[in-house]
Chains A and B, each alone.
Chain A
Amino acid sequence: MSTPGSVRSGEHTQYTPAAPGGGPRGDSSSRRARTRVFRWEGIIPLLLVLALLGLGWMLFAERFMRDTIAEAGTKALGAQLDIADLDIHLLSGSLELHGVALADPYDRNRNLFEIRVVRVVLDPEPLLEKKIVVKTFTLGDIATGTKRATPATAVTGEGFAPRAMAEMQRFAKQFTVPLLSLIPIDTLKALVLNPAQLKSVQTALAVAQQADSVKQSIELQYAQLRVQETVDSSRALVARLQGTNVRTLGVDGARRAIDDVRRTSARVDSAKRRVDALMVTARRGLDSLQTGVGAIDEARRDDYAFARGLLKLPSFEGPDLGSAVFGRVTIDRFQKALYWTSLARQYAPPGLLPKESPGPKRLRRSGTTVHFVEPKAFPRFWLQRADVNVAVTSGSLGGTYAFAARDVTSDPAIVGRPMLFALRRSAKGNEVDSLRVVGSLDHTGATVRESVTAQAAGVALPTIAIPSLPYSMGWGRGSSELRIALTGDQLSGRWYVHSPKVTWAMDSAKARPLNTMETLVARVLTGITTLDMTADISGTLENPRLSVKSNLDRQLSEQLRSVAGKELAKAEARARAQVDRIVEEKSAPVRARVAELRTDAERRIGDARTKLDEEKRKLDERLKALTGGVIGLPKLPGM
């Protein structure tokens, strides 16, 4: 490395301490000769450094990339991603990953899949733009649902995937799955209701407060009308002019009298308009109160349900029974589908606006990385087409699968086509005879749409425990179809299951003596051998609705009604009567107060209106008398 300005052999130094007497130092010709701009030899150490970096790359790049991909993948997917080895082939622009395992985000002891080898061939040109365009993508030897040797680390933090997971758990909690309550009705305790808990009582109290407020407002506005002052003033004028002969008043007197009458008449008209306005306002307030009174009756229906809930009466309604038995397992299915959909929305947002994401981790502040999208550029990630034939060699879903995907990208607005994928399995296997999954993710427009349909035949469905009973139901092998579509925030989905050979087994760990209701339900359930279940999900992500119907809940409902219907009806009637008593006690005074307020307001406003009409009539008569009946004449100048 050369040091700038340093002395070459046979040259003078540029910097020397100032001579005591000052004066010129060095000679100007030698200075000119030394002031060159470039020192090309400086490139040599730089090349050496670059060579060292290259050596470092050769030694550590694969390990560095493996760790980076595993860390980024874990963060992005919300589940631990392990990569045993990674090979980079610079000449062919390809990458090979060995021993790839992704943990199940819902079960840390299982892997969603294990892949022996993944080979990715990249288009080199987009790499210069820090973009990844995958030309071919191949997988080899996949095992699904394998058990992990060590439990996966829980992914925490502020990343998107943990947030999406938490969001989906919150989504699942929004559903109210009814309890399968099988308490014998004759053992029901007396109902103790706290009036403050009843919605209708809360509504009545609110209406009472509103009534006070409306009353105060009407009284204040009525006082501001100054009706009595207007009426008194008019009466005084009429009395003053009573019996007055216009001829005795003279021209000036007549003119003043006519002016007075006209002025007072105008004040009366103005007061009438104010009364009319008050009438409109008062009616609006009173109508609102009446609506509030109506809401008390509507709230009472909720209170009946609330009281019924306190009694823990068993519901014999089909949808309630269906939701009680199959609700959790259904929500679980939809929740998983929506988790992956929400990930797709995050990583493939619509539109061409700049997208912000956290900058790279470093000692310095990460900042924000802003991605600018151009319509005629490469997307940041684009898997143009993938056709993968996979032989899953182990696990419960072993068999041959054909997977195809098209236009999987991070910038769907550039690609301009929806992402499509399909998975098909035809060979009969341990747990599935055939499986077909098709889906599309359309993020090209302003409203994003995702739809997935999964059909399975001859599938070994999981065993589910029956809530409140020491029984479990084996679905056996059947067919299943799950469809889910998300358009913007609107959710629509259906899960249909048909099982021709349902089996029932007593769970010995939970075995206990059954009461009469439970015995009845157990007898009905164990007699069912064929199951058709349809679960529908609808609404929005923020306010989803679930409805489950099956032949099981229909049969159960009929049997329960025939046995315990009368007792149930009596218990319900008792609960309703108690609610009615409390609500009537609290709401009757409110109703009376609202009615009284209406009557009073209408009477007072009506009286004011009558008085003003009467005064107006008298003033018109006086005016007629003063003007000799020519009221409609144009006003004379000065009059």
Chain B
Amino acid sequence: MLTLLKLVRSLVKTLHSDGSPAQIAFGVALGAALGLTPLMNAHNLVVLLLLAVLNVSFAAGMLAWAVFVPIGFLLDPVFDRVGHALLVGAVSFRPLWAGIENAPGLALTNFNNTVVLGSVVVWLALFIPIFFLARFGVVRYRATIGERVRQSRTYKALQASQLYNVYTWFRP
């Protein structure tokens, strides 16, 4: 319940942040990798680095992580199949995989695992659709019910809460 509450809070804060829809959408698209792909892998370190250094919504990335975790679990069989098809089925790709597995550093990416490779490929394929969907969602929200929510008592209470204060510490 607490997690759900935090998620809702995070969602509202992100939607009402000062970030542009594109910045929030980019954060969502990047953060989706953390949820869709197995977390403890080298590519997620790169995603975290990008979320931190690119001028995109970090909070949206964290929110997307939470949202996409269950989706990742659900899609694991699909990732497994995609990865298996690429690693085992596609003979023409074998030199590429062999090159990655035998290259210093790249071998640590675990791209020779069906679920890791499959999920990364699916995430990359969905990156643009996720970006545009998220941007559309933010724009529509702000154009329709955004202001009403902003003026609502609940939102104001949220703003006044200690958590919000902690959140604002990170604002420049």
| Residue positions of A touching B, CB distance < 8 A | 1-9, 13-15, 17-18, 35-40, 42-43, 45-46, 49, 125, 128-131, 354, 356, 359-360, 362, 364-374, 377-378
B33 → chain A closest CB, angstroms: 14
Specify which chain B residues have a CB less than 8 angstroms from the CB of A1 in the assembled complex.
52, 58, 170
List residues of chain B with CB within 8 A of the CB of A360: 113
Query: Can you name 18 extra interface pairs (CB under 8 A) apart from A4-B24, A46-B49, A374-B102?
Result: A3-B171, A5-B55, A6-B18, A7-B18, A7-B172, A15-B19, A39-B55, A42-B58, A43-B52, A354-B87, A359-B114, A364-B38, A364-B72, A365-B77, A368-B84, A368-B87, A370-B112, A370-B113
Say whether A129 contacts B107, CB under 8 Å: yes
Which among B57, B83, B107, B116 is the interface contact of A4 at CB below 8 angstroms?
B57
Name the A residues within 8 Å of B72 (CB-CB). Answer: 364
Closest chain B residue, CB of each to CB of A125: B104
Q: Does B94 contact A (CB under 8 A)?
A: yes
Verify A5–B102 contact, CB threshold 8 A. no
A367 CA to B88 CA, complexed, in Å = 13
Q: How far is the CA of A17 from the CA of B23 in the complex (A)?
A: 17
Residue of A nearest to B73 (CB): A364
> Is B157 at the interface (CB under 8 A from chain A)?
no
Query: Size band of the B side of the interface?
Result: 35 or more
Listed residue (A362, A367, A368) with the most chain B CB atoms within 10 angstroms of its CB: A367
Contact B58–A3 (Cβ < 8 Å):
yes
Residues 149-166 of chain B, each 1 if its beta carbon lies under 8 Å from chain A, else 0: 010000000000000000
A118 to chain B, nearest CB (A): 25
Q: Are B97 and A365 in contact (CB under 8 A)?
A: no
Contact B53 A38 (CB under 8 A): yes
B170 touches A2 (CB 8 A): yes
CA distance A364 to B77 in the complex (A): 10
Q: Please determine whether B17 and A3 come into contact, CB atoms closer than 8 angstroms.
A: yes
Q: Which of B98, B113, B147 contacts A359 (CB 8 A)?
A: B113
Chain B, 14-32, contact with A by CB distance < 8 Å: what is the 0/1 string? 0011111001100100000
How many whole Å from A370's CB to the nearest CB in chain B?
4
**CB pairs A–B below 8 angstroms (19 shown):** A3-B170, A4-B24, A4-B55, A5-B19, A15-B142, A17-B147, A35-B55, A39-B52, A39-B55, A45-B52, A46-B48, A354-B97, A364-B115, A365-B79, A365-B80, A368-B80, A368-B113, A369-B113, A374-B102
Give chain B residues whose Cβ lies under 8 Å from the Cβ of A46.
Answer: 48-49, 52-53
Q: Give every chain A residue within 8 A of B49 (Cβ-Cβ).
A: 43, 46
- Of B38, B49, B101, B150, most A-chain CB atoms within 10 Å: B101
How many Å lie between the Cα of A15 and that of B108 in the bound state? 41
Least distance between B153 CB and chain A CB atoms (Å): 17
What are the residues of chain A within 8 A of B112 when measuring CB–CB?
A: 369-372
Q: Which of B18, B77, B80 contacts A14 (CB 8 A)?
A: B18
Residues of B contacting A370 in the complex (Cβ-Cβ under 8 angstroms): 87-88, 97, 112-114
Least CB distance from A49 to B in Å reads 8
- Of the candidates B18, B97, B143, B171, the one having the most CB atoms from chain A within 10 angstroms of its own CB is B18
A40 to B16, CA, bound (A): 24
Determine the chain A residues whose CB is within 8 A of the CB of B18 once the complex forms: 3, 5-7, 13-15
Chain B at the A interface: SS class: helix
User: What distance in Å separates the Cβ of B37 from its nearest Cβ neighbour in chain A?
Assistant: 9
CA distance A374 to B100 in the complex (A): 11
Judging by beta carbons under 8 Å apart, are A40 and B76 in contact? no
Residues of A contacting B94 in the complex (Cβ-Cβ under 8 angstroms): 354, 372
Q: Which residue of A lies closest to B37 (CB)?
A: A364
The reply to whether B54 and A37 contact each other, CB–CB distance below 8 Å, is: yes
Would A128 and B24 count as touching, CB distance under 8 A?
no
Please tell me if the beta carbons of A128 and B57 are within 8 angstroms of each other in the complex. no
When chains A and B are docked, how far (Å) is the Cα of A435 from the Cα of B110? 45
A43-B53, A365-B115 known; A128-B172 Cβ under 8 A = no
* B63 on interface, CB distance cutoff 8 Å: no
Residues of A within 8 A of B143 (CB): 18
Closest to A364 in B: B38
Closest to A18 in B: B143
**Quick check: A40 and B53 within 8 Å, CB to CB?**
yes
Instruction: Name A126's closest neighbour in chain B (CB-CB).
Output: B104
Q: Which residues of A contact B54 (CB under 8 A)?
A: 37-39, 42
Q: Which residue of A lies closest to B97 (CB)?
A: A372
Q: In the complex, what's the smallest C-beta–C-beta distance from A58 to chain B, in angstroms?
A: 18
Closest to A5 in B: B19
Residues of chain B with a CB closer than 8 A to A35's CB: 55
A210 to B97, CA, bound (A): 59
Could you tell me if B88 and A356 are in contact, using CB atoms closer than 8 angstroms?
Answer: yes
Residues of chain A lying within 8 A (CB to CB) of residue B83: 367-368
Taking a contact as CB atoms under 8 Å apart, the answer to whether A6 and B40 are in contact is: no
The 8 A CB mask of B52-89 against A (1 = contact, 0 = none) is 11111111000000000000110011011001100110
| Closest A residue by C-beta to B169 | A1
Closest to A378 in B: B102
- Residues of B with C-beta under 8 A to A7: 18, 171-172
Q: Is the CB of B27 within 8 A of A4?
A: yes
Find B172's partner among A8, A37, A359, A378 (CB 8 Å cutoff).
Answer: A8
Q: Give the distance in Å from the alpha carbon of A215 to the alpha carbon of B152 in the complex.
A: 97
Whether B101 pairs with A4 at a CB distance below 8 angstroms is: no
Let me know if A14 and B20 touch, CB within 8 A.
yes
Find the B residue at minimum CB distance from A49.
Answer: B48
B77, A15: Cβ atoms under 8 Å? no
Nearest CB of chain A from residue B80's CB, rounded to whole Å? 5
Cβ contact within 8 Å between A17 and B101: no
How far does the alpha carbon of A125 sit from the alpha carbon of B40 in the complex, in Å? 22
Name the A residues within 8 Å of B105 (CB-CB).
Answer: 128
Cα-based distance from A131 to B143 in the complex (angstroms): 55
Contacts of A15 in B (CB 8 A): 16-20, 142
B5 in the interface (beta carbon within 8 A): no
**Pairs of residues from A and B, 9 with the lowest C-beta to C-beta distance, nearest first:** A367-B115, A5-B19, A128-B104, A42-B52, A372-B98, A377-B102, A365-B76, A367-B114, A129-B107
